[in-house]
Amino acid sequence: MAKVAIIGQGYVGLTIAAFASKANKVVGLDSNQKVVDRLNQGISHIEGVDSAALKAAISSGSYEATTNGADIADAEIVVIAVPTPLDKDRKPDLSFIESACKTIAKNIKHPVLVINESTSFPGTIRNVIKPLIYKLSLKKFEHEYAISPERVDPGRIDWDQKNTPRLYAGLTPSASKRTHEFYSTFCDNLVEVSSPEVAEAAKLFENTFRQVNIALVNEFAQIAHALGISVHETLEAANTKPYGFMKFNPSAGVGGHCIPVDPSYLAHVAESLGVPATFIERANEVNLEMSKYVVSRVAADNGGSLKGKKVQVIGVSYKPNVADTRETPAELVIEGLKRVGAEVTWHDDVVGTWHGQDSSALGGSEIAIVVTLHDVVDKKAVLASATYVFDTTGKLPGAKGL
Ligand SMILES: NC(=O)c1ccc[n+]([C@@H]2O[C@H](COP(=O)([O-])OP(=O)(O)OC[C@H]3O[C@@H](n4cnc5c(N)ncnc54)[C@H](O)[C@@H]3O)[C@@H](O)[C@H]2O)c1
């Protein structure tokens, strides 16, 4: 049973903590006191992490949460699972990683294995994390370093930490071996690659593949509409091909911490090497512009102007069945509606509270735009909630939409 510290107890960190604590002693360090207090009461804030299992892990002594860096002092393995957002210029913001490195340097007093699970550009473990911990540490320990990028899909139950293949690579053979030992305590399928850079790049490419294909289908949705054919029927038709085609669905845009963000990490590294990242940049633009397209379609169907019209946006999380609103396209749709003078409300019982405002009751507007459709939502009630309903999800038969 290894002593493991996991820095960051959000979607990734808490999910790993829940699995790792079945066979290891885990300390979950998070800078958010509220999150830590609730975790120590056995209340999970992450879809897919069961509060009952969390309580059981706490009672058996295999899990505790803390805000105190000193509590990770006796860890043998430290996993970094902190945010890696973009800054205001859409460039990688490694400030959370830097802060996690500071915590490690300050509190760890013996050699440990440091594993990074936060998504970042190739070279992060070798050229950023390792030298920074070394620089910030008063005593210069020979820590070992590895990368194992996270593939969790919050809310998903068919693919979890146990059965999703996990990439990993250490900076040294010994780091790789220890990383394998740790993850094999809860993951059945470990795939070693030849260098941390390959693992880091693979993670970015996985999400870039999704970003580019989503942009392509979003562009195609606009072409299909201009042609006067159903994009969904056409995609279903294309999907009858048993090879060489993979179906992606059009939407109001992309959201979450991964698809709108990770490709820009790849574009950043490409730029620094003097290589154009044309597809990535254009895909990003197409996805960001989808909100404008949705607003223009709704306006066109409603006399050409939404000025003074009451519009309700239904579903504001970035994908169904989660409460996560990070980078949600609903935000851009709402901004676009307000820009053209619409009076906007939003409804989402799964999200509940957003930007300090509670979800309004369903209905009460002449126009509704469905951005995200949770499974728990009553489709008939949505269809009846306004005289005109525009669906961006393709899951609401009877509504207008993409
Ligand atoms: N959410 C996903 O589906 C997903 C999937 C794969 C990879 N990732 C990657 O995993 C990383 C973490 O993402 P997430 O979704 O778990 O983020 P999150 O925002 O859900 O959680 C991050 C947590 O880290 C805490 N934190 C921030 N800085 C800290 C610090 N210095 N010390 C201690 N705690 C700190 C925050 O309070 C927060 O609770 C990112 O790099 C992300 O790109 C996320």
User: Which pLDDT score, from 0 to 100, does residue 157 have?
Assistant: 85
User: Which pLDDT score, from 0 to 100, does residue 325 have?
Assistant: 96
User: What DSSP string runs through 260-328?
Assistant: TTHHHHHHHHHHHTT---HHHHHHHHHHHHHHHHHHHHHHHHTTT--TT-EEEEE--SSSTT----TT-
Mutating to test ligand 1, I would choose from 257, 262, 324 the residue with most ligand atoms within 8 A of its C-beta, which is 257
Which atom of ligand 1 is found nearest the CA of 84?
41
282 CA to centre of ligand 1 in angstroms: 27
83 CA to centre of ligand 1 in angstroms: 4
User: Which pLDDT score, from 0 to 100, does residue 383 have?
Assistant: 97
pLDDT in tens, the chain (402 residues): 899 999 999 999 999 999 999 999 999 999 999 999 999 999 999 988 999 999 999 999 999 999 999 999 999 999 999 999 999 998 999 999 999 999 999 999 999 999 999 999 999 999 999 999 999 999 999 999 999 999 988 778 899 999 999 999 999 999 999 999 999 999 999 999 999 999 999 999 999 999 999 999 999 999 999 999 999 999 999 999 999 999 999 999 999 989 999 999 999 999 999 999 999 999 999 999 999 999 999 999 999 999 999 999 999 999 999 999 999 999 999 999 999 999 999 999 999 999 999 999 999 999 999 999 999 999 999 999 999 999 999 999 989 999
Q: What is the dihedral of CA 213, 217, 219, 224, to 10 degrees?
A: 160
The three-state DSSP-derived secondary structure of 40-64 is HCCCCCCCCCCHHHHHHHHHCCCEE
User: Which pLDDT score, from 0 to 100, does residue 112 have?
Assistant: 98
Annotated catalytic residue, options 258, 277, 306, 371: 258
Cβ 324 under 6 angstroms from ligand 1 = no
User: Which pLDDT score, from 0 to 100, does residue 205 have?
Assistant: 98
User: Which pLDDT score, from 0 to 100, does residue 155 have?
Assistant: 76
Cβ 144 under 6 angstroms from ligand 1 = no
Is residue 187 among the annotated active site residues?
A: no
User: What DSSP string runs through 150-168?
Assistant: ----TT-SSS-TTTS-EEE
257 CA to centre of ligand 1 in angstroms: 9
Q: CA triplet 320, 188, 5: central angle to 5 degrees?
A: 80
Burial (CB count within 10 angstroms: exposed 0-12, middle 13-18, buried 19+), residue 84: buried
Q: In this structure, are residues 363 and 382 in contact, taking their beta carbons and an 8 Å threshold? A: no
Cβ 9 under 6 angstroms from ligand 1 = yes
Cβ 147 under 6 angstroms from ligand 1 = no
Q: In this structure, are residues 345 and 365 in contact, taking their beta carbons and an 8 Å threshold? A: yes
pTM higher than 0.85 for the full model?
Answer: yes
User: Which pLDDT score, from 0 to 100, does residue 375 have?
Assistant: 95
Q: In this structure, are residues 286 and 297 in contact, taking their beta carbons and an 8 Å threshold? A: no
Which atom of ligand 1 is found nearest the CA of 151?
6
Cβ 150 under 6 angstroms from ligand 1 = yes
118 CA to centre of ligand 1 in angstroms: 7
* Radius of gyration of the chain from its Cα atoms, rounded to whole angstroms: 23
Cβ 203 under 6 angstroms from ligand 1 = no
Burial (CB count within 10 angstroms: exposed 0-12, middle 13-18, buried 19+), residue 231: buried
58 CA to centre of ligand 1 in angstroms: 21
Nearest CA to ligand 1 atom 27: 82
Cβ 96 under 6 angstroms from ligand 1 = yes
User: Which pLDDT score, from 0 to 100, does residue 74 have?
Assistant: 95
Cβ 8 under 6 angstroms from ligand 1 = yes
Nearest to 14, CA basis, from 56, 64, 61, 60: 64
